[in-house]
Amino acid sequence: MTSNWPIKQLQDISDVINGGTPDTKVKAFWDGEIRWITPAEMGKRKNPSVADTKRKITAKGLEKSSANVIPANSIILSTRAPIGHLVINEEPMAFNQGCRGIVPDMNCVTKYLYYYLFANVDLLNDLGTGTTFKELSSSKLKSVEIPLPTLDEQKRIVAILDEAFAGIDKAIANTERNLANAKELFESYLNSVFANTGADWEEKRLDEITQVKDGTHDSPQYQANGIPFITQKNIRSDGLIFDKVKYISRGDHDNFYRRSNVAPGDILISMIGANRGMAALVNDNKTFSIKNVGLIKRSEGIDNQFLLYYLKSQSAKQYVAEESNGGAQEFIGLTALRAFPVPYPRVKEQTSIVVKLDALSAETKKLEAIYQQKLADLAELKQAILQKAFTGELTGSVQTHGRASLRGV
């Protein structure tokens, strides 16, 4: 058990190296030969080992900053925004001030230390301080306590974890692929419905079928509480969300409501930004105002669930892309929204299509829930194996733990 293992502070078994950032606008500092990594890039890496990076810094850029190059087979840890991304550099590498390098000495196996820090990301976060964002200071990091068995024991633990995690990572990849396939199956059927319309289908402008409005273009004074103020950020593929919403006064809401009177059964569609064209049904009686959002009023002339499915189809997405304007933040205007071409079968067929799509959507969501739960179980399994590793409970052979790791998942 770990009671027999000596406990060392990180500074006793490694050098902790600070990062630094030169001016990103000076061309002479970049496109050099020295590999350069940031927390953002680290967070996108699934493999702990990094041989190359998206950016490289020049010797001059390194000289004009407080950054340092650390030797290969060290650990780089993001210590702010966020705390806890970890990689092992296969080549000498430098990093920005949001990271710290950890260079283990001869008494510590790099991968063992990597796994220990990976298992204790919550602890590292708890040691962080700050109001705008948390940062893990060099002194706090150096004081982290590490249980340190013999080198042979460290290597044995690493071998077991490597094999067990290889099996888990393969299961995760398969599950993620199954999850993607389930979503693609529904989207494929949805797209086929509107790509292969019947001979008796008409095509109508959206404003021929129902009222189409937009939200306010004003920026009201926000307050701590009041009426939710919904923007395009609150429209998601799975519906309307009220997380991190801002609030406005009742007076402002009343003014905006005269322009865009949102009611249950209406459809909201984002008009600006990366998610423009994304639509959601208003399915409760919450009172709110809208901005940068189109309002498609409920109408007896069309099944709004049918219309919502159409707006999620590839045909509708293509129209939005073609009719968008603007530069850095593209938008689709109200005129184009009102002219939206909508395939229009008889109401009875609309209802039939909705029933079929609802049924397939429900089955797809069941599969997604199963796959999401499996991913959660696999993540928990990793943590359980890590917990055993650093409490001295990984007894037996590499093969035994490698086979046992996936039982019951």
Say whether pLDDT at 406 is over 70: no
Cβ partners under 8 Å of residue 236, min gap 6: 275, 278, 280
Quick: pLDDT tens for 364-391.
999 999 999 999 999 999 999 999 999 8
What is the span of the domain harbouring residue 130? 2-148
Contact between 8 and 146 under an 8 Å Cβ cutoff? The reply is: yes
User: Are 135 and 182 in a shared domain?
Assistant: no
DSSP 69-86: -B-SSEEEEEEBSSEEEE
Coil, strand, or helix at residue 396?
Answer: coil
**Category of 73 on φ-ψ map: left (φ > 0), alpha (ψ -120 to 50) or beta:** left
Among candidate residues 114, 148, 182, the one where a domain is terminated: 148
Question: Do residue 284 and residue 208 come from a single domain?
Answer: yes
pLDDT for 322-377, tens place per residue?
Answer: 999 987 789 999 999 999 999 999 999 999 999 999 999 999 999 999 999 999 99
**How does residue 233 score in pLDDT terms, banded at 50, 70 and 90?**
very high
Partners of 15 in the β-ladder: 103
What's residue 392's pLDDT? Answer: 84
pLDDT band at residue 2, thresholds of 50, 70 and 90? Answer: low
For residue 217, CA distances in Å to 97, 213, 293, 302 come to 39, 12, 10, 28
132 pLDDT band (50/70/90 cuts)?
Answer: confident
Q: Is the pLDDT of residue 230 over 60?
A: yes
What number is the average pLDDT over the span 169-196? Answer: 95
Is 239 found in the same domain as 335?
yes
Residues 142, 7 share a domain: yes
User: What is the pLDDT averaged over residues 208-230?
Assistant: 93
Q: What is the DSSP letter of 143?
A: T
Q: Which of 213-222, 233-242, 261-270, 399-408 has the lowest mean pLDDT?
A: 399-408
For 129, which DSSP code? B
Closest CA to 144 of 213, 196, 75, 52: 75
Residue with more model confidence, 404 or 225: 225
Enter the pTM of the model: 0.78
**What does DSSP assign to residue 277?**
T
Question: Has residue 139 got a pLDDT over 50?
Answer: yes
Outline where 134-264 has alpha helix (H): 138-142, 151-195, 206-209, 250-259
**Which residues lie below 8 Å from residue 238, measured CB to CB, with a gap of 6+?**
none
Examine the domain organization and report whether 176 and 247 are in the same domain.
no
Burial of 67 (0-12, 13-18, 19+ CB in 10 A): buried
Terminal-to-terminal C-alpha distance of the chain: 27
Query: Which pLDDT value is given to residue 3?
Result: 63
Which residue among 344, 367, 388 closes a domain?
Answer: 344
Pick the residue with more confidence: 96 or 398? 96
Shortest CA distance to 118 belongs to which of 97, 130, 129, 102? 102
Domain closes at, from 344, 362, 394:
344
- For residue 402, the model assigns a pLDDT of 47
pLDDT attached to residue 21: 86
Burial 392-402 (b: 16+ CB within 10 A, else e): bebeeebeebb
**Coil, helix or strand at residue 98:** coil
Share of the chain above pLDDT 90, in %: 83
Tens of pLDDT, residue by residue over 88-104, are: 999 999 999 999 999 99
pLDDT at 198: 86
**282 plus 227 within the same structural domain:** yes
Residue 345: which H helix or E strand, with range?
Answer: none
pLDDT 10s digits, 288-307: 999 999 999 999 889 999 99
Looking at the fold, whether 64 and 168 belong to one and the same domain comes out as no
Q: Cα–chain-centroid distance for residue 35? A: 25
Residue 81 clears pLDDT 90, i.e. is over it: no
Distance of CA 227 to the CA centre of its chain: 28
Pairing of strands 55-57, 30-37: antiparallel
Report the pLDDT value the prediction gives residue 396, as an integer from 0 to 100: 60
Smallest CA-to-CA distance from 259 within 320, 297, 216 is with 216
Burial environment of residue 32 by CB neighbours within 10 A (0 to 12, 13 to 18, 19 or more): middle
Residues 33 and 72 in one domain: yes
Domain match, 26 and 68 both: yes
Q: Are residues 101 and 28 in the same domain?
A: yes
Round to whole Å and give the CA distance between 263 and 304: 13
Count up the domains in the chain and report the number.
Answer: 3
| 154 plus 141 within the same structural domain | no
Return d(Cα 176, Cα 181) in angstroms, integer.
9
Q: Is the pLDDT of residue 259 over 60?
A: yes
79: CATH: 3.90.220.20
Who contacts 287 (Cβ-Cβ below 8 Å, separation ≥6)? 227, 228, 253
| One domain, residues 104 and 227 | no
pLDDT over 90 at 219, yes or no: no
Among the residue ranges 1-15, 63-77, 78-92, 256-270, the one predicted with the least confidence is 1-15
- pLDDT band at residue 398 using 50, 70 and 90 as cut-offs: very low
The answer to whether residue 403 scores a pLDDT higher than 70 is no
- Mean pLDDT over residues 162-173, rounded? 95
- Average pLDDT over the chain reads 92
